[in-house]
Amino acid sequence: MKGWGIGVAATLCLLTQWAAADASTDASNSTTSSSGSSSSGSAPAATAPATDSSSSSSTNKAEAALKQQATDASSEKNLEQVFDASQPTYSLLRKGDATLYYTFDYSYFYNAAIDIALTSNSSSISRFRIEEDAQNTVTNTLSLDYGVKDNLTFNTTLPMVAKYDSTNNLTTMALGDVSFAARWQPVPVERGAMSTTLFGVFSTASGVSPYTINLNSDLSTGKGYYAATGGASFSDVLDPVVLFGSLSDTIGLPVNGLNQNRAGSILTAFQPGDTMSMSAGLGYSLNYDISVTASYQMSYALQTTYNMMTAGVASRVVTPDMLAASINFSVGFRTTPTQIVNIGFAYGLTQDTPNIDLTVTLPMDVSGMMKSH
């Protein structure tokens, strides 16, 4: 289950970032009429013409001044503004818009466990040792969001994972678990009302599985199985505070055909248990450029079943239900009117979460692909 905690922590981090998204939308600007285009205004008085050509030029200038300019108010423009204001608004990306983010994440995970074995009659101890696990993990992730509709956004993430096990002096670098997600807002955002977003995530097993490697010489970069997550996130803007939360359930698909040596026994298959997750927190805007966020995350994983083969005898090992929790803090810095850099820190409260987790998210503007709101 060493890889389970890291996989759940990465999924929870992703869900919290969605739940803490800004729910406010840009207000449309009203156009104003120019001072030189009054409907009842008259042309400026012209001086007495000296020649016929100067009289014609003065007349043309007067006609041009009386014509409606592109910036002047009109009944058509006023009607268009009223129509736009009555359209439903959503906090997701607008249709056709795309955003690309780069996320740097560093986590440190330490665990110490006692490995003990008894003789067949349980009269004496045949093995007693303390297993320590200290891993430093650096994950570089590209995340792309695309607005299919104003209320429907698709997302895909591409992680590259580098690990260093300081206890066993092991290193690895490989692709992590690629994921695909969709977020949908069933109803428009209304001022003073709670906003609800439904989401679904399909996580692949593209990373190096912890159930196929040599545990003595290799490191994993993924959770080792496919998983599907469904849930909902909620937010309510109480300026300058934003309250948010999320609920989700993750179903892991069984894995068969394994042949991994684990302390003299062979792991042949396993069935991960469902994982139920929740998060809640608030964001506070200190000013237009700086905001802070605090949240609590918790997940409850049902028992996992392992199929083992020991000396030709099949057996099943069932783990107990497990609880994982962490506290998260982040600070957002507005670098441009439309871009915010987030720096987050998470502290694990249980054994299966990283002891330290530092995350930096940077928006990337790719010319020709990105659209500006």
Per-residue pLDDT at 91: 83
Q: How many distinct structural domains can be found in the chain? A: 1
pLDDT digits (tens, 9 = 90+) for 29-46: 333 333 333 333 343 443
pLDDT digits (tens, 9 = 90+) for 248-300: 999 999 999 999 998 789 999 999 999 999 999 999 999 889 999 999 999 99
For residues 301 and 325, is the Cβ–Cβ distance under 8 A?
no
Q: Is residue 71 part of a domain?
A: no
Q: What are the percentages of helix, strand and coil residues in the chain, rounded to 5?
A: 10, 50, 40
For residues 220 and 185, is the Cβ–Cβ distance under 8 A?
no
Q: Is residue 85 part of a domain?
A: no
CA distance 135 to 354: 9
Q: Within the chain, how many helices (H) and strands (E) appear?
A: 3, 17
CA distance 250 to 301: 9
Per-residue pLDDT at 86: 53
Q: Is residue 314 part of a domain?
A: yes
Q: How many CB atoms lie within 10 A of CB 324?
A: 22
Q: Is residue 248 part of a domain?
A: yes
Query: Pick from 322, 328, 268: which is nearest to 294 by CA?
Result: 328
Per-residue pLDDT at 253: 96
Q: Is residue 290 part of a domain?
A: yes
Q: Is residue 222 part of a domain?
A: yes
Query: Pick from 296, 302, 284: which is nearest to 246 by CA?
Result: 296
**Can you give the residue range of the structural domain that contains 100?**
2-21+91-364
For residues 211 and 268, is the Cβ–Cβ distance under 8 A?
no
Q: Is residue 266 part of a domain?
A: yes
What would you report as the CA-atom Rg of the chain, rounded to the nearest whole angstrom? Answer: 30
Spatial neighbors of 359 by CB under 8 A, at least 6 apart, are 13, 103, 104, 105, 106, 330, 342, 343, 344, 345, 346
Read off the CATH number of the domain in which 253 is found: 2.40.160.40
Per-residue pLDDT at 16: 52
Per-residue pLDDT at 22: 43
Q: Within the chain, which residues score under 50 in pLDDT?
A: 1-6, 8-9, 20-55, 59, 62, 65-66, 68, 70-71, 79, 82-83, 367-368, 370-373
Q: Is 58 helix (H, G, I), strand (E, B) or coil?
A: helix
**Residues belonging to the chain:** 373
Q: Is residue 230 part of a domain?
A: yes
Per-residue pLDDT at 78: 56
